[in-house]
Amino acid sequence: MVRVDTSADGSLAGNWTHNPRCGTATNSAGSSHICTLTVTNVGHALDYAVYFNERATTAITTTLDHTPMEDALLALVNSATTSIDVALYGLDRQSIVDALIAAHNRGVTVRVVGDDEAATGEYSSSYQALTDAGITVVADTSMSKIQHNKFLVVDGQIIWTGSTNFTDTCLTLNANNSIVITDTTLAGVYLAEFEEMWAGTFHEDKADNTAHLLDYDGTQVESFFSPTDLVALEVWDELAHAEQSIHFGMFFWTDDVLADRVVEQLGAGVEVYGVWDQLGAANTSSVGERLCAAGARIKTEDFAGKVHHKFAVIDVEGDDPVVILGSYNWTDSGAYDNDENTLIIHDRDLARAYYAEWQRLWSALGEETLCQRFVVYVPVALRQSDQ
């Protein structure tokens, strides 16, 4: 295991977390592990577009009207000429179901990986519609762990990923983000992960078998999949590099090790601001109360929908602006049980885009929401609330 704080007593159970993916764990004497990622030089600049649900701060219900994010997703699916490989959790947006079926009917190979309880529960009719159309759906078979990804790869060269389920609520009511990256190298990384699940291998049975560090003409992109790649350690390390600020939009955060790191950074003078979802904030294991007590300024949403984001922006105007994004909630289940994907992208323009989304949510919330809902317990099952 890895010793979290090498200056603290090694006998403290809370001072240890999982081993790193490579290198050797920090020992009780405080020796740091060494884990150097191999860099894949892609050979061109990072080509991306990013989308947010702009209705989230004002919407009072779902709508059948399309949002820019939905139109971008439909355009991507409709552009496919050879293949669409989809790893999803929630699916009930009829336009997406219809587009996937239309792609299949025009000869595109459509493969879908899903979650067993989602496929037989509230999203069963949409999953069944794909199956009835002749699209094969492979689902995990674990009752306690979920296939929680929300990504697709089109024609082996374009990746769509982020926090957005393909549902009415996620596309038109909840605060969500999605990023589209055009690159065959990263697409190959995601396809390798997809192929494992397509073959029926999920959760801890998968292998850590993908490239993790890609260089796009000087822009660094890190890619990690849960649970094999121990993403919490990577986020923990990234938070340690914050010099000025951390801004986050979060659905669920219950990982005490990550909270410990942020508390350390607050003590070092790093400013920490957050926007939290009501359900996540009120969960008995939420770290929000601790962060607020340590000096973080966090508002809890009072929107009609959820703040379903799972992102953080580090040093938006610093020397190394970073965005952490994907499907991974900052929980032990998200890191060590579920199938998830996370990107850590070092890019100033992207950091500014995510910071602008954070600022939009923050500005829509009154001062009365500041550090207010972290001591109320509302029992909620994570897998039942991801809509």
**pLDDT tens-digit profile, the chain (387 residues):** 555 555 566 556 555 555 555 555 554 444 444 566 789 999 999 999 999 999 999 999 999 999 999 999 999 999 999 999 999 999 999 999 999 999 999 999 999 999 999 999 999 999 999 999 999 999 999 989 999 999 999 999 999 999 999 999 999 999 999 999 999 999 999 999 999 999 999 999 999 999 999 999 999 999 999 999 999 999 999 999 999 999 999 999 999 999 999 999 999 999 999 999 999 999 999 999 999 999 999 999 999 999 999 999 999 999 999 999 999 999 999 999 999 999 999 999 999 999 999 999 999 999 999 997 665 434 444 444 565
Pair 58, 168 in one domain: yes
CA 28 to CA 21: how far, in whole Å? 19
Domain-located, residue 268: yes
Pair 79, 169 in one domain: yes
Pair 76, 194 in one domain: yes
CA 58 to CA 175: how far, in whole Å? 11
Pair 109, 248 in one domain: no
Domain count across the chain: 3
- Return the pLDDT at 27: 46
Is 206 catalytic? The answer is no
Is 150 catalytic? The answer is yes
Pair 305, 180 in one domain: no
- Return the pLDDT at 372: 77
Domain-located, residue 204: no
Q: Is the distance from CB of 76 to CB of 158 less than 8 angstroms?
A: yes
Domain-located, residue 203: no
Q: Is the distance from CB of 83 to CB of 156 less than 8 angstroms?
A: yes
Of 198, 230, 265, the last residue of a domain is: 198
Pair 62, 192 in one domain: yes
**Hey, which residues does 323 pair with through a beta bridge?**
313, 345
Domain-located, residue 265: yes
Domain-located, residue 206: no
Pair 114, 159 in one domain: yes
CA 261 to CA 237: how far, in whole Å? 9
What's the CA dihedral at 203, 207, 210, 213 to 10 degrees? Answer: 80
Pair 189, 60 in one domain: yes
Give the domain extent around 22: 1-34
Report angle CA 252, 345, 289 to the nearest 5 degrees.
25
Domain-located, residue 81: yes
Of 198, 231, 259, the last residue of a domain is: 198
Residue 326 in tokens: 């994907």
- Return the pLDDT at 377: 39
Is 148 catalytic? The answer is yes
**The whole model's pTM is what?**
0.91
Give Dmax over CA atoms of the chain in angstroms: 63
AA letter at 327: S
Closest CA to 348 of 318, 325, 310: 318
CATH number, domain of 268, equals 3.30.870.10
Q: Name the catalytic one among 104, 145, 148, 346.
A: 148
Pair 166, 217 in one domain: no
Characterize the bridge pairing of strands 271-276 and 48-52: unpaired
CA 84 to CA 75: how far, in whole Å? 13
Domain-located, residue 207: no
Pair 236, 286 in one domain: yes
- Return the pLDDT at 39: 94
Of 198, 228, 244, the last residue of a domain is: 198
Pair 194, 218 in one domain: no
CB-hemisphere CA count at 13 Å for 302? 12
> What are the distances in angstroms from CA 105 to CA 99, 133, 134, 204, 309?
10, 8, 9, 35, 33
Q: Is the distance from CB of 244 to CB of 270 less than 8 angstroms?
A: yes
- Return the pLDDT at 298: 98
Pair 134, 11 in one domain: no
Q: Name the catalytic one among 85, 92, 116, 150.
A: 150
Q: Name the catalytic one among 155, 215, 256, 320.
A: 155
Domain-located, residue 121: yes
CA 47 to CA 216: how far, in whole Å? 9
